[in-house]
Amino acid sequence: MNILAIVSGEYGRRHVENIRTHGPAGWQIQMWQAPAVLPPIVDYPEDHLPEEMPSADLLLSFGELKGIAELLPEIASRTGARAVIAPVDNEAWLPRGLARQLRGWLDDIGVTCVTPKPLCSLTETHYALARRRQIEYDNSLIAAFARRFGRPHVRLTVDPQTRRIAAAEVLRDAVCGCARHVAGGLIGTPVQEAVQQAGLLHHHYPCMASMGIDTDYGDTLMHVSGNLLKDDIRGQIKALGYQEYIKPGA
């Protein structure tokens, strides 16, 4: 799979580094640095793009300017991309109304677009837009990406003698690499404290989702992201027959 990542800052570069390091050997990852400044409304996208762009199957939009979303239909046309992942980790970068328009623009030219909010809500079949609102999609390219990167899934092994985490295998990492960081930090943790420890490790990574209150969730997207990871850990602990333990005051 040929992937073209559009980046404009550290947020995108961290994602690309993690994908390159831990993605399948068959993935070809290229990166395009988007303009640092764009007009409030991009009337002529071609004025802001290079004459030639590499071919791609999948576009990853990691821009930190809302104008970058307006370039994506033209980029998809030039590269031949058939799918786009444009996450909403900050409403200032991709407001909900623009995300809805973007999905429509790309659908009009036969390109599937998903706008997971936050990015780590993406699975092989659906993604989140708000609390209790999930959108299903059907695209093999996006599903192949989401099989490796998206909603975190870490498989825990518990030592029955010590009741501590003996191993934590990352089956699906967050795109930014946070789940891999958390998994490494959980080794040796008492199983009943694993959920709490996962939350602390997630916060200290740090997660790069917005820390402002998002009205679709009534919470920060950083907290929503952390809860997705903690829910994965909590579900496994429960399935293994252990109870979560929270230290008072922690």
- Domain ranges (residues) in the chain: 2-148, 153-239
Residue bearing the bigger pLDDT, 188 or 247: 188
Residue bearing the bigger pLDDT, 46 or 112: 112
Q: Are 84 and 68 in contact (CB under 8 A)?
A: no
Q: Are 179 and 148 in contact (CB under 8 A)?
A: no
pLDDT reported for residue 206: 80
pLDDT reported for residue 236: 86
Inform me whether the pLDDT recorded for 22 exceeds 60: yes
Quote the CA–CA distance of 23 and 33 in Å, as a whole number.
21
Amino acid letter, 169: E
Quote the CA–CA distance of 178 and 193 in Å, as a whole number.
19
Percent of the chain with pLDDT over 70: 96
- Mean pLDDT is lowest, of 169-178, 181-190, 241-250, for 241-250
pLDDT class of 90 with cuts at 50, 70, 90: very high
Quote the CA–CA distance of 174 and 208 in Å, as a whole number.
11
2-148 has CATH 3.40.50 classification: yes
pLDDT class of 190 with cuts at 50, 70, 90: very high
Amino acid letter, 247: K
pLDDT tens string 140-155: 999 999 999 999 999 9
pLDDT reported for residue 171: 96
pLDDT reported for residue 130: 93
Beta strands in the chain (DSSP E): 2-7, 28-33, 58-62, 83-85, 112-114, 126-130, 133-136, 153-159, 164-172, 213-214, 219-220
Inform me whether the pLDDT recorded for 244 exceeds 70: no
